[in-house]
C-alpha cells in the first residue's frame, strides 16, 4: 500500500485477499488451469474430461474456496458474464504452446491487457522463462504489459520460471533457491504484485554453473552459509527474501499430480507458510480428479493457512 500502485490496483488486490475461505487472513489459494495450452488439452484433461468445459474450472475454484481462478483468455472470456463478479479472475496473457514441431519453448502473447480488462479481470498473469535465449524479449514485453495493467487498475502476477538445459547438471537447478531467488528478484523489479515460483528443492545453482573454468552470473558464498541452509523452509525463505523481503507475496506452485497429492500439498503449504510466503497456486492436483476430491485437496491446502498453530519459523 506504500508503493506507486494506484487505488484501483489496491482494490483488486484487496478483492484477491478478501475472497474465498482464506478471506482476511493475508494468504492466497489460487486455482490455475492454463495447462490446456501449456501441457495440451488432451494430456491435461484426459484424467477428468469434465474440465474441457470452462464452467467446471470456475465451479471448482468457487466450491473449493479459492481466492481467485487463473486461466486463459478463452476459458475466462467464455464464462465472464456469469462469474467475473463472483470470483476474481486472473487472466494468463502468455503461454508456451506445444503444437509447433519440433516443440519450442517460448512464452508468446495470446491476447492483450485491454482484453483482460474488458472481460472483467482483477489481475493479469504472465510467465517469463528467465535464463532462456528468449528471456530478453519476454522481460521487455511483460514489463510493458504489467505497466499498462497497472494503469487500468489490474494487479499483476508473474510466473518466475527458469528454463535452460544448462541448469540441469548433477541436480536440476531449475529449482535451486539461489537461481529461483534471483528470478524472483527480477520479477519484482518489473513490478509484479505477486510472484509465483516453484518450491525450491536444492541450492548451489551458481556454484555448479561456475565450474570447469566457466564464469556465470554473480554470487556470494554467504548466500549458502548465512542466508540459507539445506532446510526446505530456509530454501523457501530465501525465495521470499528476494521478493523484497516479502513485500511482494510469494505463492509456490503445487506441482504435478502424483501418488501422494494430499500429503505433498499440505507439506508444500506448511513450508511456504513457515517461510513467510503468501500461499499456494495449485492446479493439477485439484482438477485431475473428481470435483469433490479436488475441492477436498484445495481445502486441505487452505486449512494449513487457517491453522494458527502453524506459524512463521
156-180 pLDDT per residue, tens: 999 999 999 999 999 999 999 999 9
Per-residue model confidence (pLDDT) at position 259 = 80
Split into its structural domains, the chain has a count of 1
Instruction: Catalogue the E-assigned strands of the chain.
Output: 28-33, 68-71, 89-92, 94-95, 108-109, 123-130, 155-162, 194-197, 249-253, 279-281
Q: What is the mean pLDDT of residues 113-140?
A: 98
Number of Cβ within a 10 Å radius of residue 212: 5
Tell me the C-alpha distance between 169 and 251, whole Å.
26
Which residues span the domain enclosing 55? 7-306
Per-residue model confidence (pLDDT) at position 129 = 98
Tell me the C-alpha distance between 190 and 185, whole Å.
9
Tell me the C-alpha distance between 22 and 65, whole Å.
8
Model confidence at 116, in pLDDT bands (50, 70, 90)? very high
User: Do the Cβ atoms of 226 and 169 come closer than 8 Å?
Assistant: no
Residue 22 lies in a domain: yes
Under DSSP, is residue 95 helix (H, G, I), strand (E, B) or coil? Answer: strand
Q: What is the mean pLDDT of residues 269-288?
A: 95
pLDDT digits 0-9 by tens, 95-112: 999 999 999 899 999 999
Per-residue model confidence (pLDDT) at position 7 = 97
pLDDT digits 0-9 by tens, 11-38: 999 999 999 999 999 999 999 999 889 8
Phi and psi angles of residue 166, each rounded to the nearest 5 degrees, phi first: -70, -20
Residue 193 lies in a domain: yes
Residue 1 lies in a domain: no
pLDDT digits 0-9 by tens, 215-233: 999 999 999 999 999 999 9
Residue 118 lies in a domain: yes
User: Do the Cβ atoms of 203 and 228 come closer than 8 Å?
Assistant: yes
Q: Which of 118-132, 230-244, 276-290 has the lowest mean pLDDT?
A: 276-290
CB-neighbour burial class of residue 310 (10 A; exposed 0-12, middle 13-18, buried 19+): middle
CATH number at residue 252: 3.20.20.70
Catalytic residue among 92, 196, 273, 285, which?
A: 196
Mean pLDDT for the chain? 96
Residue 114 pLDDT more than 90? yes
Residue 83 lies in a domain: yes
Per-residue model confidence (pLDDT) at position 1 = 83
Residue 313 lies in a domain: no
Residue 287 lies in a domain: yes
Q: What is the mean pLDDT of residues 50-54?
A: 95
Structure-block grid coordinates of residue 294: 479436488
Structure-block grid coordinates of residue 287: 482438477
Residue 256 pLDDT more than 80? no
* Catalytic residue check, 196: yes
pLDDT top residue among 111 and 212 = 111
Residue 264 lies in a domain: yes
Under DSSP, is residue 284 helix (H, G, I), strand (E, B) or coil? Answer: helix
Residue of 91, 85, 138 whose CA lies nearest to 111: 91
Amino acid at each position: 500500500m506504500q508503493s506507486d500502485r494506484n487505488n484501483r490496483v489496491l482494490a483488486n488486490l484487496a478483492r484477491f485477499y478478501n475472497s474465498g475461505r482464506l478471506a482476511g487472513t493475508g494468504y492466497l489459494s489460487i486455482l490455475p488451469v492454463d495447462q490446456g495450452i501449456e501441457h495440451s488439452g488432451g494430456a491435461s484433461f484426459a484424467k477428468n474430461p469434465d474440465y474441457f468445459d470452462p464452467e467446471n474450472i470456475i465451479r471448482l475454484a468457487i466450491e473449493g474456496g479459492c481466492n481467485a481462478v487463473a486461466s486463459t483468455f478463452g476459458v475466462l472470456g467464455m464464462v465472464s458474464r456469469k462469474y467475473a463478479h463472483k470470483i476474481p479472475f486472473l487472466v494468463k496473457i502468455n503461454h508456451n504452446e506445444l503444437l509447433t514441431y519440433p516443440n519450442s519453448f517460448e512464452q508468446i502473447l495470446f491476447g492483450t491487457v485491454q482484453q483482460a480488462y474488458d472481460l472483467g479481470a482483477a489481475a493479469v498473469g504472465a510467465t517469463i522463462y528467465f535464463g532462456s535465449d528468449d528471456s530478453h524479449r519476454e522481460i521487455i514485453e511483460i514489463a510493458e504489459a504489467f505497466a499498462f495493467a497497472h494503469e487500468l487498475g489490474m494487479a499483476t502476477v508473474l510466473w518466475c520460471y527458469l528454463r535452460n538445459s544448462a541448469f540441469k547438471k548433477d541436480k536440476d537447478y531449475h529449482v535451486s533457491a539461489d537461481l529461483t531467488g534471483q528470478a524472483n528478484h527480477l520479477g519484482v523489479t518489473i513490478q509484479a504484485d505477486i510472484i509465483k515460483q516453484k518450491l525450491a528443492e536444492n541450492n548451489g545453482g551458481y556454484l555448479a554453473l561456475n565450474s570447469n573454468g566457466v564464469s556465470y552470473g554473480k554470487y556470494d558464498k554467504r548466500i549458502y552459509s548465512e542466508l540459507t541452509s539445506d532446510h526446505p523452509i530456509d530454501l523457501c525463505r530465501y525465495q521470499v527474501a528476494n521478493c523484497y523481503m516479502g513485500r511482494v507475496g510469494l505463492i509456490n506452485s503445487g506441482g504435478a499430480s502424483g501418488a501422494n497429492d494430499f500429503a505433498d500439498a499440505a507439506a508444500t503449504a506448511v513450508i511456504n507458510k513457515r517461510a513467510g510466503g503468501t500461499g499456494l497456486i495449485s492446479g493439477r492436483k485439484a482438477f485431475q480428479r473428481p470435483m469433490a476430491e479436488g475441492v477436498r485437496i484445495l481445502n486441505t491446502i487452505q486449512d494449513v493457512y487457517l491453522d494458527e498453530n502453524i506459524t512463521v519459523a
